[in-house]
Amino acid sequence: GIQVEQSPPDLILQEGANSTLRCNFSDSVNNLQWFHQNPWGQLINLFYIPSGTKQNGRLSATTVATERYSLLYISSSQTTDSGVYFCAVATGNQFYFGTGTSLTVIP
Amino acid sequence: DTEVTQTPKHLVMGMTNKKSLKCEQHMGHRAMYWYKQKAKKPPELMFVYSYEKLSINESVPSRFSPECPNSSLLNLHLHALQPEDSALYLCASSQTGTSGTRADTQYFGPGTRLTVL
């Protein structure tokens, strides 16, 4: 199956800092989503972004499908941004989650 | 409304018990999914239902039995589970299972935390 690697695996930020999370995938994909999993386990949709760039408030994402990677930018981080960030890709009928980035934002 | 609900939130069961997990969505979505997530790991796909038919079974042991009674409901029947089956079980839905379109954007429920003793 397709390999989906995320980096860094762990990230600790001071409140107000900016960060970039990366998602690399090993084959062509039809779909790519970014999720935030809060400490209670809820997966929250951030972006549907198989290609191109999107922005939503302090978050933005860019996918370069031809080079098989996607980036998630978090600006002016807040403590509520803490949790695990996953990218997930789909190819055919198969869905694969990345390895995740665990983000801790400290006041 | 992009809500997927799951019940129960927590479940503790013995290895000889039979229990069921329930998932419901009222977004008119026609594809529904079960995932299993162990601590500090990403979710792993178990089953996909598309238009109420099982379309993907990721080699899941038969002690897990999915059921899709109608387009809004998805059940996961559990029988003779092992302690290693303890995990967070997540349900998701998407408008369709048409990969490559926005219609297969997945929306997740809050999960059921299962403990098998």
Q: Across the interface, do A42 and B107 touch by the CB < 8 Å criterion?
A: no
Q: Across the interface, do B99 and A98 touch by the CB < 8 Å criterion?
A: no
Cα–Cα nearest to B113, from B58, B62, B39, B59 = B39
Q: Across the interface, do A43 and B99 touch by the CB < 8 Å criterion?
A: no
Query: Taking phi first (over 0 means left), then psi (-120 to 50 degrees means alpha), and beta for anything else, what does residue A40 get?
Result: alpha
**Distance separating alpha carbons of residues A61 and A20, to the nearest angstrom:** 9
User: What local confidence, expressed as pLDDT, does residue B109 receive?
Assistant: 96
Q: Is B88 within 8 Å of B37 (Cβ atoms)?
A: yes
User: Is the pLDDT score of B1 beyond 60?
Assistant: no
Q: How far is CA B86 from the centre of its chain?
A: 14
**Distance separating alpha carbons of residues B55 and B112, to the nearest angstrom:** 23
Closest-CA distance, A16 to chain B, in angstroms, reads 26
User: Is the pLDDT score of B102 beyond 80?
Assistant: no
Question: What number of C-beta contacts closer than 8 Å exist between A and B?
Answer: 59
Tell me the average pLDDT across B68-85: 95
Rg (CA), chain B: 14
Cα–Cα nearest to B33, from A90, A100, A47, A69 = A90
Cα–Cα distance list, B103 to A30, A31, A37, A88, B22 (Å): 12, 10, 22, 15, 23
**Distance separating alpha carbons of residues A85 and A19, to the nearest angstrom:** 12
Tell me the average pLDDT across B75-96: 95
Cα–Cα nearest to B79, from B18, B13, B11 = B18
Nearest CA in chain B to A83: B40
User: What local confidence, expressed as pLDDT, does residue B61 receive?
Assistant: 93
B93: Cβ–Cβ under 8 A, 6 or more apart, which residues? B4, B23, B25, B27, B29, B31, B32, B33, B74, B106, B107
User: What local confidence, expressed as pLDDT, does residue A66 receive?
Assistant: 94
Residues of B with CB under 8 A from a CB of A: 2, 33, 37, 42-45, 48, 55-56, 88, 90, 92, 97, 99-102, 104-108, 110-111, 113
Query: Taking phi first (over 0 means left), then psi (-120 to 50 degrees means alpha), and beta for anything else, what does residue A18 get?
Result: beta
User: What local confidence, expressed as pLDDT, does residue A40 receive?
Assistant: 87
Nearest CA in chain A to B49: A93
Closest-CA distance, B100 to chain A, in angstroms, reads 4
User: What local confidence, expressed as pLDDT, does residue B66 receive?
Assistant: 96
Cα–Cα nearest to B107, from B37, B17, B5 = B5
User: What local confidence, expressed as pLDDT, does residue A91 receive?
Assistant: 81
**H or E, element range at B112:** strand B112-116
User: Is the pLDDT score of B70 beyond 80?
Assistant: yes
Instruction: Categorize the per-residue pLDDT at B23 as very low, low, confident or very high, splitting at 50, 70 and 90.
Output: very high
Helix (H, G, I), strand (E, B) or coil at A66: helix
Spell out, as residue ranges, where chain A has pLDDT lower than 50: none
